[in-house]
Amino acid sequence: MVRIRRETDYAIRLLLALARRGPEAVVTTRELQKEMQIPKQYAARVVAKLARGGFIKALQGRSGGISLGRPATEISLKDVVLHFEPIFVISKCVEDPASCPFGDTCPVRGHWCHLQSLLLKELERITIAELAAEPSP
């Protein structure tokens, strides 16, 4: 089963909050952590991983904080998910056909591969900018 981990969800929330503020916004991690209801123990780790991936920039000093590392229109959900999820496949056989006793002759494997492809295409289509433009609940 494909499942997004909490850390990935928190990363998307942080990017969303930054994108809603605009491309030049600089915000403290603490402010974003509170606004997006992210537990404190996760916030620093997620911010560090987002920075390593080039999704955000960390600015030091008195007026420091974090900002988007590239335009929100250039950050897809696929980019974020694949950066945070060590394994993101609908079935193990998609990644490793040898794990199935039927291998390439399995009647289900082709369908799993197709579904995996559709899922990744849809995640690639959705950008952080698009999500930021949607009304907040």
- Residue-wise pLDDT tens digits, 24-50: 899 999 999 999 999 998 999 999 999
User: In angstroms, rounded to a whole number, what is the distance separating the alpha carbons of residues 41 and 106?
Assistant: 44
Residues 6+ apart with CB under 8 A from 75: 15, 55, 68, 127, 128, 129
pTM of the model: 0.89
* More confident position, 126 or 86: 126
Instruction: Note the pLDDT tens digit of each residue in 57-92.
Output: 988 877 779 999 999 999 999 999 999 998 888 888
Task: Just give the CATH number of 6-133.
Answer: 1.10.10.10
Residues forming beta bridges with residue 88, ordered by sequence position: none
* 69/20 Cα distance (integer angstroms): 14
45: closest CA among 8, 86, 85, 87? Answer: 8
Q: Are 29 and 15 in contact (CB under 8 A)?
A: no
